[in-house]
Amino acid sequence: MSIQSVTAVHPLAANFLVPNATFFAELIAFAIIVWVLAKYVIPPINRAMAARQDAIRRQFAELDEAQSDARKAETEYKDLLNNAKHEAARIREEAREQGAQIVQEARDKAQTEADRIVEHAHVQIEADRKAAVASLQRDVGSLATTLAGRIVGESLDDDERQGRVVERFLADLDEAQPVQGGAR
């Protein structure tokens, strides 16, 4: 047998461009597989992918919202912090002013008390001086009348006469006192 006789028996089998029944069977099997995939496999995958994409979009939206809320909270925090700083400064200034006012009130009160004490001391000194003068007038008057009685040789026991002598003596003493004050 020759090579020609083998190739001549099946002239269409040797041409690979002509489809045979196997090709059609494979083509039908491929179409069935594609249809099954498109009908039963791909839709759940697409739904899962769409759900996942929606979840990712929601997460991004929530992230953007959370970032916005965080920025807003940070701004509010900074505003509150600034307000608190201003309030603290205002309170410190008020406390400083109140402290100065309290100190001034204490000084005024102390000055008033000191003035009152000084005035009371002046009044007390004046009262003591008057009491001393009155006591001296009595003592000096009594001594003066006793001495005058000894010098004159008569008794000056008469109250009216004794009063006139004491008054004259004290008047002379008061007149002599400014002259001595001027001499110093």
Q: Which residue has the tokens 């190739």?
A: 7
Domain ranges of the chain: 19-177
- Report the pLDDT value the prediction gives residue 164, as an integer from 0 to 100: 75
* Spatial distance between the Cα atoms of 25 and 31, rounded to a whole number of angstroms: 10
Tokens standing for residue 121: 């001391």
The 10s digit of each residue's pLDDT in 15-70 is: 777 778 888 999 999 999 999 999 999 999 999 999 999 999 999 999 999 999 99
Percentage, residues of the chain above pLDDT 90: 55
* Spatial distance between the Cα atoms of 47 and 36, rounded to a whole number of angstroms: 16
* pTM higher than 0.85: no
The 10s digit of each residue's pLDDT in 137-152 is: 777 777 777 776 777 6
- Report the pLDDT value the prediction gives residue 12, as an integer from 0 to 100: 54
- Report the pLDDT value the prediction gives residue 1, as an integer from 0 to 100: 47
pLDDT band at 184 (very low <50, low <70, confident <90, very high): very low
Q: What angle do CA 169, 174, 175 make, to 5 degrees?
A: 100
Task: Check: CB of residue 140 under 8 Å from CB of residue 168.
Answer: no
- Report the pLDDT value the prediction gives residue 151, as an integer from 0 to 100: 73
